[in-house]
Amino acid sequence: MRNRRRPSRPAPQEVRVVTDSTACLPAGLPGGPVVVPLRVLVGDEAYAEGEDITPDRLAELVSAGRHVTTSQPSPEAFAAVYRTLGEQGVRSVVSVHLSGALSGTVGSAGTAAARSPLQVRAVDSRTAAAGLGFAARAAAECAAAGADAAHVAARAIEVAGTAHAMFVVDTLEHLRRGGRLSGPAAALGTVLGVKPILRLSDGAIELAQRVRTRAAGAERLLEQAAGYVAGATRPVVAVHHFGAHDRALALAGRLHTRTRADVEVTPLSAVLGVHVGPGTLAVVVADLGDHAH
């Protein structure tokens, strides 16, 4: 009897990318980074972001006045993910996370990396939301193409460095309470009764402009995003919202009509949403450039 050859199994991918849930990645993204959830605390109840509670549900709780706080993943949570990847044959991990100026998440990843038997590079993206998501996805594409860990990490940093993140909020009170914005800046927005436009600059949140209405805020986001798209070689664009789905779709439609760019619409991650508050709209533009693996 002739022996039948068993089909060979594909070799395991040697480098994998890990990120965190603030990357606002679309659900069911094939071949994307491994996502480690941050924690959301509602009273005495703890939830894993993206697994146990949705951003829309959290926006409802925040609007209802529930006390909500957040916490970064522990080093043990990252260590468990790295260990599982090692068991799958992965040799190196590039762990890309939201700005260290906003969260200690990348610090937890770094602590776990130092203890891991794998080679793990913890990368501070200096951005958040889709700025982080686009960087992690671009890095994951390089990893899937067979690039080494140094190349993958460099690609994440490259794309993250092009990201422009802008958002308009109903009030600065949530950011002030969470310590993500100075008291004087928060007070200025509140006293004037305006809609603040914020931006991420070198990983930190700063007050960029003030407008009088939500409509004016959306218009300003549209103008800024269109300018960034026009200046990009290969732009990628996302619109986020926290409890403002219809307004986000409207903004995305106008942005697509104006720039012809494809625009993803996703909820702002629950952890980020807690700090900016319900009603927030955000636009993120990054440039994938002419990179070749």
Do 24 and 151 sit in the same domain of this protein? yes
- Asked which of 161, 184, 204 is the last residue of a domain, the reply is 161
Residues in the chain, overall count: 293
Is residue 16 within 8 A of residue 143, CB to CB? The reply is yes
Do 198 and 276 belong together in one domain? yes
The whole-number pLDDT of residue 5 equals 53
Note whether 40 and 67 are same-domain residues.
Answer: yes
pLDDT in tens, 210-266: 888 889 999 999 999 999 999 999 999 999 999 999 999 999 999 999 999 999 999
Please tell me whether residues 59 and 144 are part of one structural domain: yes
Domain contains 274: yes
| Each residue's pLDDT tens digit, 119-161 | 999 999 999 999 999 999 999 999 999 999 999 999 999 999 9
Cβ atoms of 277 and 62 within 8 Å: the answer is yes
> Would you state the torsion angle of the CA atoms of residues 33, 274, 255, 229, taken in this order, to the nearest 10 degrees?
-60
pLDDT given for residue 57 in this prediction: 87
Q: Which has more confidence, 30 or 108?
A: 108
Per-residue pLDDT at 1: 45
CB 269 within 8 A of CB 49: yes
User: What are the tens digits of pLDDT across the range 64-121?
Assistant: 888 888 899 999 999 999 999 999 999 999 999 999 999 999 999 999 999 999 999 9
Q: What is the CATH number of the domain that holds 169?
A: 3.30.1180.10
| Total number of domains constituting the chain | 2
> Is the same domain home to 31 and 151?
yes
Enter the pTM of the model.
0.89
187 & 251 share domain: yes
Give the range of the structural domain holding residue 28, as residue numbers without chain letter. 15-161
SS3 of 235, please? strand
Last residue of a domain, one of 132, 161, 190: 161
Does 208 lie in the same domain as 191? yes
38-49 per-residue burial string, b: 16 or more CB within 10 A, e: under 16 = bbbebeeeebbb
Do residues 115 and 250 share a domain? Answer: no
Statement to judge: residues 191 and 141 lie in one domain:
no
Residue 2, domain member (yes or no): no
CA atoms within 13 Å, Cβ hemisphere of 259: 27
Q: Which of 127, 161, 195 is the last residue of a domain?
A: 161
> What local confidence, expressed as pLDDT, does residue 136 receive?
98
Q: What is the pLDDT of residue 250?
A: 98
Q: Residues 192, 277: one domain?
A: yes
